[in-house]
A and B are shown apart, each in its own frame.
Chain A
């Protein structure tokens, strides 16, 4: 339907973008388009000036410049349009476009306006990391893909906009095991296909990177799209003394996105409550804040846990106490060692194994404490960089696990341990206590080395208690990734989809 003369013009990509945009603003594109980009831009600018709406300005800037505008930019352009005359309105749009990274020169860029649910999975698409958040995203997307009306997107760092995934990226998101075995070829030289969501839901299943956040917050505030998030935790704020400064810096800007978003699905009641607390603080600036809803994660074992049957370990005469999690102050491993030392002094004999990477600043102290405990005679192993096989073997061998973390959005090691039928000593509040509600755990105050030690002592000396906890684990209700993916769609995507 486009004129061949138009297609060969140097402004062809721009004309295509303007032609895509025009009907959304109630501008009939045919006649001005035939006369070129200028008349079409002029018609759109006049219409925008007349509408005086933030969502129209947002959409226009996003489509014309192929770049998600910041809140400051939306406000500025809206003001400039008001002050311009009908005849000069187009200059406002030209100047705004020239301020964007590519100006009018984004040539190899196709822009499409999408009214499917847009799902931001940038990190999982572009990285091979697969712990915590990435597991949630990939398990969910594997189940949504092909079954739900949605468009997964990543971030174009060049442009500052959403774009469609390449085949290899898509596979990494929706078929993680397959991408490890036979990866799809990367698409090179393909035009960037920018996705601009319009009148739909935009879901952030990850915590976006710092430099995406200004554009994403403006989308939530001005675009008219409804924005939903998975709420993992607010550790970078509440436990700011335990995380790197850059992590908190990113998170406070994430909170601007949260503040303007419409719905947050917390991964536990605890995480949900943290986001609800933040949302309630937004009342001081007359913002409603997002609706919060709890969609708890399933209690699930690691992806690669395929081996069956208990592992026979030669010379394993002493019971194994397992402690899984990265070595950092928040995970409270030093309390476990302190408790273990007291038990050892009281004559109890056992092996203690730590599995997990460590933050550089903390490992030094951790290793000192381990060395000191070993000199006392304790049997302590520290496995860093262990693979899933080591992890699975350890769960199969363990008498029980210990996870007295000070703050968790979910507490994955507790859930994992339970899926292997292994009882857990864990913290008596927050998300770990939530998981423990269905049985199989002893709860302790993680700030009391004595309580941790007493619980460990019980599990070392009372076979009937250990057996009772194992029996409880067998009776726990099951919740699968299928359940989670379905619940999440129903609780997060559906309410935000609008007319669809």
Chain B
């Protein structure tokens, strides 16, 4: 049920574009005033008028068509044509509200998921700080992804704390239309209905825009991601190319975005400003039972080597298994535990774990653990291993070090940024010998292990408060 008639919508457009102007009482005069004002204002007004009249954000194609319409025919005729167009299947657009001069934060996915993997952790930690210290409006997308709307209170709680993943959507929410506002996207958007609308908002609406950039793995390490992710992510990037600022989560992520940005010149697009705003390196675990679930991780009381992360090829877990097998064969005594879910193309990993277990090797792979078990595992482990091929950040490294446990990890990219001199033993993850040698050193060289433990203990972790403040400063306040 929509309540806003044409007059109400035209009134909103006029108020946004020319707040000082008196709203004419009669529809013909109102129409005339709105039409002339749109023609004067150009692209941003065309974007606004379509969004308000349709109750749905336009994609870039629709804005360019609207612009051409106002060039081709007199403003009043152009406006009448805009009034006639409707998104497919919608007889009347939903109600709209203009959200002027605000910072709106698009947490559509985070508001509706119980997942707490990398991106959700970053989003939740960030918006918790932002919402404490600044005026922000948390928003998600209407059910058909045609425009943003305010979150319900329950969705808002889930966005912030992840405690209510089944929060009901608001019934028939008004579409929130940002105007002279700032739109921030701290999560990854790849939905086909959502992405072109973000692109048009960024390119045409006149609102300021910024995103958090996690990595460009689907382009730069396509051999390790599932079918469909490359195209979806590439389309995400076409929207990001119109955004003003990308806060990359590490120098490595900034390197990837900067390389991609250089590719844009051929399309005549200058691309966003890219800056590395490194994530927090503090562990966000609540205090808990130090022995929780250790029986699921440790075999026969052996020293524990822990590997955290999903078993996707990029995480290089086959190298971990191979290194461990060589060391077991050479007589070293330790047990190996993986915490993380199976994923795309993890079959070979699963088969290898099965084979090694059948041969009596002390290896376990578990998933679906809560934070208590994860924390206990990090605390109890002799050291952790994380020889990934490419990471925007490498959260398990930060978590391991924050809990005082050394890590064998890759000697480049974000992994080096986090671990170098802070409790990490750096190796080339593509060199099986180097990885096995790194593990062997930490199994046999107690002095080295102690030194790395001391490094980890001495590091001053970067807090989520510091991260959120730096990200805010860059995305909202800097010029």
Best-surrounded residue of A78, A214, A217, A251 (most CB of chain B within 10 A): A251
| A276 lies within 8 A of B262 (CB) | yes
Known: A237-B219, A256-B223. A271 touches B262 (CB 8 A): no
* Residue numbers in A under 8 Å from B313 (CB-CB): 72
Q: Say what secondary structure dominates the interface of chain A.
A: helix
Chain A 283-294 interface mask (CB, 8 Å, partner B; 1/0): 111100000000
Decide yes or no whether A83 CB sits under 8 A from chain B: yes
Decide yes or no whether B335 CB sits under 8 A from chain A: no
* Residue numbers in A under 8 Å from B64 (CB-CB): 334
| A281 lies within 8 A of B390 (CB) | no
| A338 lies within 8 A of B68 (CB) | yes
| B263 lies within 8 A of A255 (CB) | no
| B389 lies within 8 A of A285 (CB) | yes
Instruction: Give the distance in Å from the alpha carbon of A246 to the alpha carbon of B267 in the complex.
Output: 21
Instruction: Give the distance in Å from the alpha carbon of A271 to the alpha carbon of B322 in the complex.
Output: 41
| A252 lies within 8 A of B222 (CB) | yes
| A241 lies within 8 A of B199 (CB) | yes
Instruction: Give the distance in Å from the alpha carbon of A258 to the alpha carbon of B71 in the complex.
Output: 44
| A234 lies within 8 A of B72 (CB) | no
Selected from A256, A407, A449, the residue in CB contact (under 8 A) with B68 is A449
Known: A284-B413, A285-B413. A249 touches B231 (CB 8 A): yes
* Residue numbers in B under 8 Å from A427 (CB-CB): 268
Known: A72-B348, A249-B227, A282-B220. A273 touches B238 (CB 8 A): no
Selected from A245, A270, A283, A285, the residue in CB contact (under 8 A) with B266 is A270
The smallest beta-carbon distance between A404 and chain B, in angstroms, is 10
Decide yes or no whether A409 CB sits under 8 A from chain B: yes
Known: A83-B329, A282-B220, A338-B68. A241 touches B235 (CB 8 A): yes
Look across to chain B and name the residue whose beta carbon is closest to the beta carbon of A275.
Answer: B263
Interface residues of A in 330-370 (CB under 8 A from B): 334, 338, 341-342
Decide yes or no whether B15 CB sits under 8 A from chain A: no
Decide yes or no whether B234 CB sits under 8 A from chain A: yes
| B234 lies within 8 A of A407 (CB) | no
Best-surrounded residue of A236, A255, A342 (most CB of chain B within 10 A): A255
Chain B 100-115 interface mask (CB, 8 Å, partner A; 1/0): 0000000000000000
Decide yes or no whether A420 CB sits under 8 A from chain B: no
Instruction: Give the distance in Å from the alpha carbon of A79 to the alpha carbon of B356 in the complex.
Output: 14
Instruction: Give the distance in Å from the alpha carbon of A348 to the alpha carbon of B25 in the complex.
Output: 42
Decide yes or no whether B377 CB sits under 8 A from chain A: no
Known: A249-B231, A274-B266, A429-B268. A79 touches B412 (CB 8 A): no
| B253 lies within 8 A of A284 (CB) | yes
Known: A237-B237, A284-B255. A79 touches B266 (CB 8 A): no
* Residue numbers in A under 8 Å from B326 (CB-CB): 82-83
Residues of B in contact with A, size category = 35 or more
| B262 lies within 8 A of A273 (CB) | yes
| A255 lies within 8 A of B266 (CB) | no
Look across to chain B and name the residue whose beta carbon is closest to the beta carbon of A445.
Answer: B268
* Residue numbers in A under 8 Å from B215 (CB-CB): 284
* Residue numbers in A under 8 Å from B432 (CB-CB): 78-79, 82
| A406 lies within 8 A of B267 (CB) | yes
Instruction: Give the distance in Å from the alpha carbon of A249 to the alpha carbon of B413 in the complex.
Output: 25
The smallest beta-carbon distance between B261 and chain A, in angstroms, is 7
Instruction: Give the distance in Å from the alpha carbon of A280 to the alpha carbon of B223 in the complex.
Output: 18
| A83 lies within 8 A of B325 (CB) | yes
The smallest beta-carbon distance between B96 and chain A, in angstroms, is 26
Interface residues of B in 195-228 (CB under 8 A from A): 196, 199, 215-216, 218-223, 227-228
* Residue numbers in B under 8 Å from A276 (CB-CB): 262
| B235 lies within 8 A of A255 (CB) | no
Look across to chain A and name the residue whose beta carbon is closest to the beta carbon of B215.
Answer: A284
Chain A 428-457 interface mask (CB, 8 Å, partner B; 1/0): 111100000000000001110100000000
| A255 lies within 8 A of B220 (CB) | yes
Instruction: Give the distance in Å from the alpha carbon of A82 to the alpha carbon of B432 in the complex.
Output: 10
Instruction: Give the distance in Å from the alpha carbon of A17 to the alpha carbon of B219 in the complex.
Output: 38
Known: A249-B227, A281-B220. A238 touches B255 (CB 8 A): no
Known: A255-B219, A256-B222, A341-B72. A281 touches B413 (CB 8 A): no
Instruction: Give the distance in Å from the alpha carbon of A277 to the alpha carbon of B265 in the complex.
Output: 10
Instruction: Give the distance in Å from the alpha carbon of A234 to the alpha carbon of B261 in the complex.
Output: 12
* Residue numbers in A under 8 Å from B216 (CB-CB): 281
Decide yes or no whether B130 CB sits under 8 A from chain A: no
Decide yes or no whether A382 CB sits under 8 A from chain B: no
Best-surrounded residue of B231, B267, B326, B348 (most CB of chain A within 10 A): B267
Decide yes or no whether A233 CB sits under 8 A from chain B: yes
* Residue numbers in B under 8 Å from A284 (CB-CB): 215, 220, 252-253, 255-256, 390, 412-414
| A407 lies within 8 A of B267 (CB) | yes
Look across to chain B and name the residue whose beta carbon is closest to the beta carbon of A289.
Answer: B259
Decide yes or no whether B188 CB sits under 8 A from chain A: no
Instruction: Give the distance in Å from the alpha carbon of A237 to the alpha carbon of B219 in the complex.
Output: 8
Look across to chain B and name the residue whose beta carbon is closest to the beta carbon of A407.
Answer: B267
* Residue numbers in B under 8 Å from A279 (CB-CB): 259
Decide yes or no whether A75 CB sits under 8 A from chain B: yes
Chain A 40-65 interface mask (CB, 8 Å, partner B; 1/0): 00000000000000000000000000
Look across to chain A and name the residue whose beta carbon is closest to the beta carbon of B270.
Answer: A429
Chain A 259-281 interface mask (CB, 8 Å, partner B; 1/0): 10000000000110110111111
Interface residues of B in 244-267 (CB under 8 A from A): 252-253, 255-256, 258-267
| B230 lies within 8 A of A252 (CB) | yes
Decide yes or no whether B61 CB sits under 8 A from chain A: yes
| B71 lies within 8 A of A214 (CB) | no
* Residue numbers in A under 8 Å from B231 (CB-CB): 240, 245-246, 248-249, 252
* Residue numbers in A under 8 Å from B428 (CB-CB): 286
* Residue numbers in B under 8 Å from A234 (CB-CB): 263, 266
| B390 lies within 8 A of A285 (CB) | yes
| A277 lies within 8 A of B230 (CB) | no
Decide yes or no whether B98 CB sits under 8 A from chain A: no
The smallest beta-carbon distance between A306 and chain B, in angstroms, is 33
| A342 lies within 8 A of B390 (CB) | no
Instruction: Give the distance in Å from the alpha carbon of A253 to the alpha carbon of B229 in the complex.
Output: 11
| B266 lies within 8 A of A431 (CB) | yes
Selected from B218, B256, B267, the residue in CB contact (under 8 A) with A430 is B267
* Residue numbers in A under 8 Å from B238 (CB-CB): 238-241
| A281 lies within 8 A of B255 (CB) | yes
* Residue numbers in B under 8 Å from A274 (CB-CB): 262-263, 265-266
| A285 lies within 8 A of B262 (CB) | no
| A280 lies within 8 A of B262 (CB) | yes
Known: A248-B231, A329-B61, A338-B68. A255 touches B222 (CB 8 A): yes
Q: Which 4 A-B pairs have the closest CB atoms?
A: A281-B259, A277-B262, A252-B230, A286-B412
8 contacting pairs across A/B (C-beta < 8 A): A249-B231, A253-B222, A255-B220, A277-B260, A277-B262, A281-B259, A284-B252, A445-B268
Q: A79-B318, A284-B220 are known contacts; what are 19 more A-B pairs with Cβ within 8 Å?
A: A72-B348, A79-B432, A82-B432, A83-B322, A238-B264, A239-B267, A240-B231, A253-B223, A255-B220, A256-B222, A270-B265, A271-B266, A273-B265, A281-B258, A284-B215, A285-B389, A285-B412, A409-B266, A430-B265
